[in-house]
Structures are given as C-alpha cells and as structure tokens.
Structure 1
C-alpha cells in the first residue's frame, strides 16, 4: 500500500468517524428518544381499536361455535372481566355494531395521530415545518400506512416462506437479508416525503436501509427472546403490553434514527449544514 492509498484510507475513516459522531450528537440534540416514545404511545393506542375490530369481524364471519372457540383461545391472556367483554362483542349483534362503529372512529383518529406524529418528528429532525393541508396529510398518511403495512407483510411473508427450511444452513441469514431489503424498499417513500424537503431517491436510501435492517434484527431479537423465556402469557396481559410498547419504541427509534442519518449525510443538519 502506497502513501497515497494510506492517506485516502485515513481520510475515508475520518469521514465515517465524523459522520457517526455527528449522528450521535444530533440524536441527542433533536431529542429523538422522546419523539420515539411519543410515536410508540400513539401506535400502541391505535392497536386497541384495531383489536376490537378484529373481534367484531370474527363475530360477523364465523358461526357461534367458532366464535366461542375464539373466546376460549384468548381468555387465558385476559382477566375474567376482559373475557366477558370480548364474549359480548363477538356473540351479541347489538354490541358488535356499537363496538364496530366506536372502533372505526377511534382507529381512524389514532391512526391519523400516529402519522401526524411521525410526520412532525421527521420535520423536527430536518428543521422544517410539517404540511398542515388536508391533502398533504392524506398523502403522507397513505404513504406511512403503505410503508408500515408492506413492512409487516414482508415480515410475515418471509416467516411463512422460510418456515419449512429451518434445518437448511444459512436460511436464517437469507431470511434476515430478504426481510431487511423488503422493509428498506417499503420505507423508502416515507424517507423521501416526510422531511418536507426536496431530495433525490439516493439521499433517502441510507435511512431506509438502517430502518429496514434494524427492524429485521429487532424482529429476530424479540422472537429469540420469546423462545427463550416462553410465551408472553407468562407475564400476563400487562407484560404483553409492556413488551409490545418496548418493541414499538425501539422501532420508532430506528425510524427516526434513519431520518437523522439521512439529514447528516445529506448535509442538512450538523456541522456540514452550517
């Protein structure tokens, strides 16, 4: 290796170190942890009416024996009072209609809050103002819904596709790689639109890759944790909600961390933006 090659290598290494240090400082300065906590809270709240809607749909589509089977399947995770509530929702026609209408309203409201919170968090990272027009909110909400839904489909699709190859070497790595790339592609539109700045596709790629790889590893970590500690019912419903809240918080942290990475590498925040 010549002296010129060593110099170029040192310059590249220094750039990487400076970029990582800037990302760390910006994560603290932008209070990304607090933004991720707010995202996790609103996402967790939006899951509750979604769960009720699933019970309502179950009651409409299934006959009474199957509805009873659903109630018996979930009662081990619920308190007696919660089990009676689920049974009423699934089996009683009048209660199903009331619960479905209420759940739809709450689900739409909480979902909009999640997307607005995420949009505001991206804007806070970039130092821009989030779009407040109805059209822009609908557009951003549709993009976020597609991105998250597609990422979830990628996770479950990969689990189903690779489920029969558990004994084949390197299958676990192939599954993690495919999930990472699929999630990164799903997140790419989100990283282009939410910052409310003009940017090219390639500028959004690093953050999307970070979020995609991070979500894939996070999924594998939680699956491994549950397999080692047993089913989450060991900790009851409260423990299950805590575990879900932790997952949502870490997922939000990765999403917003990707935004910080893109902003730093794009020279929009940090020392390069000054």
Structure 2
C-alpha cells in the first residue's frame, strides 16, 4: 500500500479535478434541484415536531441558529420567514410536506448513489430501486439527527459563552468553527463510505471528507463575502434573489461533495494498484 505523500497529494488533486471536470458540474446541478426541493419539507417537518415540544418562539430561534450555520448571506432570513409562515398553517401542510420530502429526498439519494457509484468505479449498479428509496429514507433520518446535533451544539456554545465570560472570545470562535467542522467531516465520511455500493477504504475516505469539510467552510465564508459585497441578486431577480442565492450555494456545496468523492476515489484507486 502506498502512503499519501506530498507528490501523491498533487496526483490525487489532478485526478480528482479531471474526474470532476468531466462529470461533476452537471451532476451537482441535477442534485441541487432535488436537494432544494427536499430542504423546505425537511425543515418544516422537523420544526413542526419540535414546535410541539418547545413552542414556536424557541423553535424559530434554534432554526435561525441552524440556518446561519448552514447558509451564508441573507438566505437564513428567507428560510426563517418561510418556516414561520409554515408553522402557522394547518396540520394538512405537514402531510403535504411529508409526501414532497419522501419524493424529492428519495430522488436525491438515488441520483447521489449513481453519481458516487460512477466515481468509485461501480457502473453496473444492481441495487433495486426500492433499496435506493429505503436508503434515502434512512439518510433523511440520519441527516435529521445530525442537524439536530448541530442546533444543540450551536445553542450550547452560545449559552456557554454567556455564562463563562472569562473565556477569551478567540477560544469561543475557535470552538464554534471546529465543532461544526467535525460534524461536517462526520457527515461526509458517512456519505462517502456507505452511500456508494463500492466500499472504499477508510484511509481513502477520511482525507476526502476532511478536504470537503475544510473546503465547505472556506467557500461558505467566501460566498457570504461575495453576497455582502459584490452580488445583488434582488436587482436582477427581485423577490427571488434569495432563492437564487440558495440554489447557487446548494450547487457549490454539492460540487464540493462530488470533488471530495473524486479525491477519495483517486486515493483508493492508487492504493489498489
């Protein structure tokens, strides 16, 4: 087995870029469509359940923490506005959200599975369609738990920073960056390991997951700066400006996911040579 060296890393980046440039951009665009359709039904269902426990005010506060953690720019305010309106609707909306979530999420994970199978060299997928749908439902549950964990951690850090005033602000900023990054790495590791049928080695999966997590944090900061200083989507798209920004951010996030998969696949293929 070959170890990951500096020269090897350059080869892996080159191989990952070649693979992504051939097929990644189109797949990221297609996955963005299903991901965007899944986002609002998932949030409505999760927050409707949380509303029964904590009440609307607490739910919206914690949803805002999650949205600020996941999305840059003015996108969180648009999401919170939509969620607040949805929570005031009749319960029949939850059933509609459930149907929309199951359809969009199962389609998303089915297409994600095919994309990752191709990246990891498994083009003759024999997994039945119903198994893809079941896997999609399971991934929804896992994602919901991880999102809930993100909210709890963010809320806990905020309370901790208020109660332990003698802690330096730099320490709290570091914790607020590192802990969500670890969660992002965990999510990417699970996706790259268990979604594709071809099982790559852990030593190939973890570097790709770390790369994706770091890339996501950097791109999130850059995209937030871009929205605040350069882009003004409301001038061109009007009230749809925030939606366009959300769609673009979803595309960037999925492009990072697919590039991370290409990087892990490059390591895995080289180790099998």
Q: Same fold (TM over 0.5)?
A: yes
Matched, 1:152 2:147: yes
Residue 7 of structure 1: aligned partner = none
Aligned to 1:138: 134
Deviation at 1:135, TM superposition (A): 3.6
Match of 2:19 in 1: 26
Deviation at 1:245, TM superposition (A): 0.8
For 1:1-274, what aligned pairs fall within 5 Å after superposition? 12-29=5-22, 31-50=23-42, 53=45, 90=88, 96-128=90-122, 129-130=124-125, 131-135=127-131, 137-139=133-135, 141-143=137-139, 145-146=141-142, 148-153=143-148, 155-163=150-158, 164=161, 168-222=169-223, 237-267=239-269
Residue 253 to residue 145, structure 1, CA distance change in 2 (3 Å): farther
Question: In structure 2, the residue corresponding to 1:198 is in which secondary structure?
Answer: coil
* Aligned residues: CA RMSD: 4.3
State the Cα deviation string for residues 81-139 of structure 1 (Å, max 9, x = none): x99xx59x836xxxx25433322212211111111121111112123144225245423
Q: Which piece of structure 1 moves more, 258-267 or 172-181?
A: 172-181
1:21-60 residue CA offsets vs partner (Å, 9 max, x unmatched) = 122111112x101111111111111234346657977998
Change (3 A) 1:221 1:159: farther
Give the alignment's TM-score, normalised by structure 1.
0.68
- Unaligned runs of at least 5 residues, structure 2: 58-76
Max radius of gyration: which structure?
1
What 5-or-longer segments of structure 1 have no aligned partner? 1-10, 67-75
Q: Normalising by the residue count of structure 2, what TM-score does the alignment of the two structures yield?
A: 0.68
Moved more, 188-197 or 171-180: 171-180
Deviations 1:243-267 (A, max 9, x none): 1111111111111111101110111
